[in-house]
Amino acid sequence: MIYQLFLCFFTSLSLFSCPFCPGSFAREAQTFYEDDLVLGVYPHKPIYPNHVLAIPKRHVERLEELTGEEMQAIFHLAKKIEEKIFQKNGLTHYLLLQKNGRSAGQTVPHAHFHMIPIAEGTWTISVLWRFFSELFYSPLREEALREKTALLAEQISD
């Protein structure tokens, strides 16, 4: 009985659909950049201010499934984020992280790249600890997500 209630509850949620594909909240409310191939998305649980995601629009689960054109577009976006958002906010160090497969810690089965700005003097191990402990963070409220997304959109379009 408890198992059936659990299954009914979770299958009624959108947990089993991709959060980065069309129709999802992240795609609609957290996207600050979009072109023909890629998206810039503000995560619902950022580990540091200005932590962002670069995501291919086409649904692929792993890095090796991306086309050369998609990879080029992702790295073009990463450069744009570094120049228009990170530099403008005095952030000169960042971690670019991409995980492939569950054993590597991939929790969303859609390829994506985390760009995590790091303050000078911060130890990388402390950043990784924050990254892996984010499962226990509370997601940002919708209003805060929309405000930050709008700010990032403004910064990247300058």
Query: Would you name the residues annotated as active-site residues?
Result: 112
Alpha carbons 35 and 78: distance in angstroms, whole number: 13
Assess contact for 97 and 63: CB atoms under 8 A: no
Residue entry with tokens 């959108």: 14
**Strand 52-56's sheet: what is its strand order?**
31-34, 38-41, 52-56, 113-118, 93-97
Question: What's the Cα-to-Cα distance from 132 to each of 15, 53, 76, 82, 100, rounded to whole Å?
Answer: 20, 16, 27, 23, 15
Within 8 A by CB and 6+ apart from 64, the residues are 100
